[in-house]
A = this chain, B = another copy of it.
Amino acid sequence: MRADAQRNYDKIVEVARQVFRERGYDASLDDIAKLAGVGPGTLYRHFPKRENLLDAVMQSWVDKVNDTADKALTYEGSDRDLLVNWFVDYVGLISQHKGGPAKLTSAMGNPDSPIMTKCQALSRANGKVIDRLREDGALRDEVDTIQVCRLVGGIATVADQSELDTAAVRPMLEVVADGLLK
């Protein structure tokens, strides 16, 4: 990539990250281009679809997802608490900006979504926790990872759209956890 192209690419992603956080996932792309000091043409050449931009914005976030899952596994208490705490973290991770939970969760399991790699990271992180509990024999047999992603993603989506706080979300996550555990 040419140096000027790289500069613009980086600037757009930097601006988009901030704007998405402040105004939600629906923010105007022409606005983002303007704020980044480039024309709309440039933005759309680098990111043909809104989701391609979202994907770039989330790049740095992948590491955090992994770290959080690893940290969740070091928890010393009960399986139930481990699972619920992880769910709370998971919801936090996918709720960085308004509209995020819906986007991420509905792209899950769709192999040609532009944010597929992000979904995989998420799914892998979740899988780590699920696998560990399965090894412990704590989970019901039929449970599968993508199902768990969807269940928790569904709750995150509702929470996002209804602007619920953690106090309202946690009990719902507990219900799901109880339904998953033996």
Contacts of A162 in B (CB 8 A): 105-106, 108-110, 150
Instruction: Report the separation of the CA atoms of residues A180 and B179 in the bound assembly, to the nearest whole angstrom.
Output: 8
Interface residues of chain A: helix, strand, loop or mixed (majority): helix
User: Whole-angstrom distance between the alpha carbons of A176 and B164 in the complex?
Assistant: 19
Q: Which residues of A contact B (CB under 8 A)?
A: 102, 105-106, 108-110, 142-143, 147, 150-151, 153-155, 157-158, 161-162, 164, 171-172, 174-180
Could you say which residues of chain B place their CB within 8 Å of the CB of A108? 162
Central interface residue in A143, A151, A154, by most chain B CB within 10 Å: A154
Given A147-B172, A150-B162, A174-B179, 11 more A-B residue pairs with CB atoms under 8 Å apart are: A105-B162, A110-B162, A150-B155, A151-B172, A154-B154, A154-B155, A154-B172, A157-B157, A176-B179, A177-B179, A178-B178
